[in-house]
Copies of this chain bind each other. A is one copy, B any other.
């Protein structure tokens, strides 16, 4: 039984961690912090947790967090940076769900996040938390920087093609769409029901913060710099990311279906659908699965990969629990066995 701390437990990735960890037989949530909700029981804020948690939110305190075996940061960017050095000075291991330690090029991070990096000395050590790429490094990591939601859906869809050098890496297109929960739980007019329901639009077409993270991962898979156009869209639903990925095949007669099945044969959370399928977000809602299908329309030279995840689960908290399982030697599926509610 390991002791877990959660910093920033009131947001959507925080409550999702609580939901998943309640079903995890090897962990106990010992600390959960929130300045704003200090003293409030977690099941008062989240009635869905009634009967599963009796603890209250507390003010974040490094000393107290250090008594945990592992601490999750479910915070906006900037927060983990500020506490990280102090926390790692203890024996505690950290799984950061924010973007603070994902990008290796510190200048690039500062440019896209528009602020100085608060802990550049730990960036190199941080292990990028995408188990399908980095499983070995995660095992022994002190600090895991969990992959983001869009980056997970796009990378899992494109790396089989890039690793094998089958597509032109300079002409990648990632057309992705996310549910509104991706925008977080902050009070805002833009994310009101009355503003987002029953409508669809692209956003951040000039450039989204996940772009450098995705390019970093794809570049590593390709072994050379990639050219990527990434356009995110906002869906009138709460959870789910779907990526439609276009790339140009440079070799003929490739067995795309076989390639994907082979690449992910042993992955517990990547499900390559039968040929001709179309993954849907509802089938993976609340689960840690990435559902993938690959097409070659009209037998032409465009590969179309379709990839669906739950942005709060495989795109955030589920992936974080998967990393925890890897770090602590548990079966990788522990606590992550649930089935999507359908319909």
18 contacts between A and B (CB under 8 A): A23-B337, A47-B291, A48-B341, A51-B271, A181-B343, A191-B194, A193-B197, A193-B238, A197-B197, A198-B285, A201-B278, A201-B279, A202-B242, A202-B244, A206-B276, A229-B302, A236-B236, A338-B338
Write the chain B residue with the least CB distance to A298: B207
The answer to whether B200 touches A19 (Cβ under 8 A) is no
A205:B304 contact, CB within 8 angstroms: yes
**How far apart are the CA atoms of A189 and B192 in the complex, in Å?**
8
Stretch at the interface among A55-63, A90-98, A130-138, A172-180: A172-180
Could you tell me if A192 and B193 are in contact, using CB atoms closer than 8 angstroms? yes
Chain B CB count within 10 A is highest, among A238, A244, A341, for A341
The 3 A-B residue pairs with the shortest CB-CB distance in the complex, in nearest-first order: A199-B282, A201-B280, A286-B341
Q: Are B339 and A341 in contact (CB under 8 A)?
A: no
Q: In the docked arrangement, what's the CA distance between A203 and B297, Å?
A: 12
Question: A228 to B292, alpha carbons, bound, how many Å?
Answer: 23
CB distance from A53 to the nearest CB of B (A): 10
Q: Is the CB of B233 within 8 A of A194?
A: no
Q: Are B195 and A343 in contact (CB under 8 A)?
A: yes
Q: Report yes or no: A207 in contact with B297, Cβ–Cβ below 8 A.
A: yes
What chain B residues lie within 8 Å of A286 (beta carbons)?
Answer: 286, 341
Q: Which listed residue (B186, B230, B246, B280) contacts A200, Cβ 8 A?
A: B280
Residues of chain B within 8 A of A22, CB atoms compared: 339
Residues of B within 8 A of A48 (CB): 282-284, 339-342
Residue of B with least CB distance to A15: B342
In A25-75, the 8 Å CB interface with B consists of 46-52
Asked whether A236 and B235 contact (CB < 8 A) given A52-B339, A173-B246, the answer is yes
With contacts A12-B343, A339-B52 taken as known, whether A205 is within 8 angstroms of B238 at the C-beta atoms is no
Contacts of A187 in B (CB 8 A): 187-189, 192
Closest to A184 in B: B194
Residues of B within 8 A of A82 (CB): none
Residues of B within 8 A of A203 (CB): 278
Contact of A194 with B175 at beta-carbon distance under 8 Å, contacts A200-B240, A300-B227 already known: no
A314: interface (CB < 8 Å)? no
User: Quick one: which of A267-302 are within 8 Å of B by CB?
Assistant: 271, 273, 276-286, 289, 291, 293, 295, 297-298, 300, 302
CA A310 – CA B330 in complex, angstroms?
33
The CB with the most chain B CB atoms within 10 A, among A192, A205, A207, is that of: A192
CB-CB under 8 A from A15, the residues of chain B are 342-343
Report the bound CA distance from A339 to B337 in whole Å. Answer: 13
Contacting A297 at CB < 8 Å: which of B175, B231, B277, B342? Answer: B231
Q: How far is the CA of A188 from the CA of B185 in the complex (A)?
A: 9
Q: Is A239 an interface residue (CB 8 A)?
A: yes
Is the CB–CB distance between B189 and A189 below 8 Å? no
Please tell me which one of the listed residues B23, B233, B289 contacts residue A338 in the complex, with CB atoms under 8 A apart: B23
A242 to B201 alpha-carbon distance, docked (Å): 7
List B contacts of A281 (CB < 8 A).
199-201
Which of B180, B231, B273, B304 lies in contact with A192, CB distance below 8 A?
Answer: B180
Which A325-343 residues sit within 8 Å CB-CB of chain B? 337-343
